[in-house]
Amino acid sequence: MVAAGIQLLALLLACAVSTAETGQSFNLKMWRKEDQPVQQQFSQVNEEIERLKYYQAVMKQKQEDMNQAIMHCAQMQAPRDEEVNVTTLQEGSNTLPYPFSHEDKDPEEDNDGVLDPCYHYSVLDQPWRATNFSTKNVACDQKVQWKGWYRLFYRGKTIQMPERCVKMEMCGTHAPLWLVGGHPRIRDGIVTRKVCGHWNRNCCAFKSPPIQVKACKGNFYVYKFVKPQACHLAYCADINTLVCGRCKKDEICNSRDKINWFCKKSKRRVKAKVHFFASYPGSLQGKVNRIQFSKVYVNVGGAFNSRTGVFTAPVTGVYQFFFSTQSATNGAKTDLWLVINGYWVALSHTRVSSPNSLGNLSTYMTSLRKGALVYVTHNCGYSWANSVSNTITFGGSLLLVQR
Ligand SMILES: *[C@@H]1O[C@H](CO)[C@@H](O)[C@H](O)[C@H]1NC(C)=O
Ligand SMILES: *[C@@H]1O[C@H](CO)[C@@H](O)[C@H](O)[C@H]1NC(C)=O
Ligand SMILES: *[C@@H]1O[C@H](CO)[C@@H](O)[C@H](O)[C@H]1NC(C)=O
């Protein structure tokens, strides 16, 4: 107990020293045990022990309250994610009890068996972490045995860390910890972000160890919290971001000043998957205005019409096409043209001089506006194919979406 008291003194001292370093006016002299008579040292230690006992009692009460809140929370959230397993940490440890996340099926578990933190996190629902909460009973996240990933809640509602400097003495601590550099997008995956503690008009007086953050489907984030470097620092929950938990599926949460948050329709990215490949299963002779490639092997995006043989660009972007034939007419030329919006843009030409057959494949790449029409015309000659030869073909892909 005495040892614990001294340890706490040391912690308090560490905090006081860093306070002094940041240039605040109260002048702190480094306190050394030898500077004081033994009796005084003991009385100080005893005082600390008393304070610790009180602190312990308060924490115990908080722990019980939180257990109830957690049970309540677990029941509330259970239906969506199936099973929620709540584990309390062993008694006697100085950590706060957090429920452990559910064992539900993880659709994104990768091959190494690494679990997606979006489905495997602990719930951290402590209203005192809110940016509008201050208390004399300050918390210290350095004393928490952080383990794995956490999702922040405020009374059962999703909340995020602040992306801005938070006033001192808020978030139930002395120096509130905020996220530097903002939250990631879903496509960013897991990112590492700096964490700063505000003290004495210096928004980053405490450069806390960086944490990992991930954006999850459903407008929430998970954080891999670690011990901050000193007491009393605590991770904040920005009360202004409560609105973000109410954003709809097709919305994202946005803020220009990082103070006022609002839901906003996200710019839907066009599903840019367009691929087709078709063939004409017979022979063609002379002029055929538009080859009706009726045998369709691939038509991802459904932009190719097998009845008309016309491909219609579904989005503006860069496309690549190919078309082919095989000719066997002695001495005569055979020409296939790729036609875009009525313009003949590319030729596949064959001329067979001796009794033989010849194949020709042409490709063409271009930018097209949405709605552009593309087909192949058989201008002259003789093209040979049967139902399985795939010698008269037409295909293409969207390579890139442009705006
Ligand atoms: C919760 O998890 C623990 C440890 O993984 C397991 O022993 C216990 O049976 C689980 N409880 C429930 C209700 O699933
Ligand atoms: C903090 O904000 C929440 C949500 O607006 C509110 O319910 C709560 O009463 C506020 N707490 C304090 C201490 O102002
Ligand atoms: C294929 O067509 C191209 C373009 O019309 C032509 O230049 C080339 O000679 C043809 N290849 C053969 C083998 O006929």
Q: What is the pLDDT of residue 16?
A: 42
Tokens 């450069």 belong to 207
Q: What is the pLDDT of residue 55?
A: 77
Q: Which ligand is nearest to the CA of 325?
A: 3
Pocket test for ligand 1, best of 70, 87, 90 (most atoms within 8 A of CB): 87
Q: What is the pLDDT of residue 152?
A: 96
| pTM exceeds 0.85 | no
Nearest partner of 116 among 226, 224, 244, 242, judged by Cα: 224
Nearest partner of 70 among 143, 150, 15, judged by Cα: 150
Residue ID of nearest Cα to ligand 1 atom 6: 85
Q: Which ligand is nearest to the CA of 99?
A: 1
Question: Which residues 6+ apart lie within 8 Å of 371 measured at CB?
Answer: 312, 313
- CA 332 to ligand 2 center in whole angstroms: 86
| 295 within ligand 3 shell (Cβ under 6 A) | no
Residue ID of nearest Cα to ligand 1 atom 1: 85
Percent with pLDDT over 90 in the chain: 58
172-199 confidence digits (pLDDT tens): 999 999 999 999 999 899 999 999 999 9
Question: Residues 260-287: what's their mean pLDDT?
Answer: 87
- CA 157 to ligand 2 center in whole angstroms: 13
Q: What is the pLDDT of residue 35?
A: 62
Q: Is 249 exposed, middle or buried (0-12, 13-18, 19+ CB in 10 A)?
A: exposed
Of ligand 2's listed atoms, the one at least distance from the Cα of 134 is 13
Q: What is the pLDDT of residue 20?
A: 41
For the domain made up of 275-401, the CATH class stated in words is mainly beta
Within 22-101, residue ranges assigned H as helices are: 38-81
- CA 361 to ligand 3 center in whole angstroms: 8
| 132 within ligand 2 shell (Cβ under 6 A) | yes
47-78 confidence digits (pLDDT tens): 778 778 877 877 877 777 766 665 554 444 43
Distance CA 381, CA 391 (A): 15
pLDDT band at 354 (very low <50, low <70, confident <90, very high): confident
| 347 within ligand 3 shell (Cβ under 6 A) | yes
Average pLDDT of every residue of the chain: 82
